[in-house]
Amino acid sequence: MIKATREGFGEALVELGELNKNVVVLTADLTESTKVADFAKKYPERFIECGVAEQNMAGIAAGLAAEGKIPFITSYGVFSPGRNWDQIRVSICYSNLPVKIVGCHTGLSVGPDGATHQALEDITLMRVLPNMTVIVPCDANEAWQATVEISKISGPCYLRLTREATPMITDRDQRFEIGKADVLENYGQDVAIIACGPLVHQALVAARELNDEGIKTTVINNHTIKPLDKITLLKAARDCGAVVTVEEHQVNGGMGSAVSELLSQNYPVPMEFIGMSDSFGESGDPDQLLAKYGMSIGKIKEFVRKVISRKVVKHNGS
């Protein structure tokens, strides 16, 4: 079954509206695309159409949050947080307000919309902000769970969603914990593949194929970029001695950078990074774009072999 992460978000939002009367939703002229139309129809008194004014939307949400509401603000990732980062920083994060920023249509999978609409820098923008929690669900079920969970925490959150329907690899009743990475597959300890977002599926396929070839991997779904699950990630580095990170985002400043910062301070190991390499995207079929820009299953396998070749073999503890 395939389903877009934004659909899981939209479904959860309607249920949250029933459970918590303080949940309100704002959008910037993208009701259908961000999947908040059902919430708007069911709870029109708690829905605000801000028009094409993302900065104003963030300011309104900050005011609502200061008065006890739980605002979800939705737009394309290139517009929010791309266009209203200053308002998110000063009006929301500085006061540690519980505004939930939902960036849709992120990554290369926006496809034909092209470089101007392919948010590939948003994780960097958001994880650098004090008080911000950053979550990148791997499928629609996890997006549903993440939406529910971020509504419960007191500070600001960023939820990163995609447009394209992608394979479902989790169950809705599966436990989801903010800040706790999930080990999805453990074939062995030649290398740890740490992935986030829908590319977790590509990582799992690559791991299965590598296992058939005799290369044993551990696959981790690192859905929470901030705060990182230091315990799980450091254990993977120690057990495997090599890491490949996989994300649909710029390598510079993204999830891979966050993992690298953690390991460099605590347990340095050889690393390779799958993602955009300091480039803008372009219009095209999503799968073709992932292949062109080095985020395919084949490229993951190539980088796994590369990082294994860099491992330092220690003899007798030396």
Distance CA 147, CA 13 (A): 7
Task: Please classify residue 68 by burial: count the beta carbons closer than 10 Å to its beta carbon, then call 0-12 exposed, 13-18 middle and 19+ buried.
Answer: exposed
Distance CA 95, CA 93 (A): 5
Bridge partners (DSSP) of residue 157 are: 100, 133
Widest CA span of the chain, in angstroms? Answer: 69
Report the candidate in 74, 224, 206 with the shortest Cα–Cα distance to residue 134.
224
Q: Which of 15, 18, 32, 54 is catalytic?
A: 54
Contacts of 219 (CB under 8 A, 6+ apart): 183, 184, 185, 186, 192, 193, 195, 200, 203, 204, 207
Q: 224 is written with which tokens? A: 């929470």
Task: Please classify residue 186 by burial: count the beta carbons closer than 10 Å to its beta carbon, then call 0-12 exposed, 13-18 middle and 19+ buried.
Answer: middle
* Contact by Cβ (8 Å): 92, 61: yes
What's the one-letter identity of residue 200? V
Active site residue 185: no
Distance CA 307, CA 314 (A): 16
Contacts of 50 (CB under 8 A, 6+ apart): 26, 27, 28, 29, 56, 57, 60
Distance CA 30, CA 143 (A): 19
What's the one-letter identity of residue 254? G
**Residues with catalytic annotation?**
54
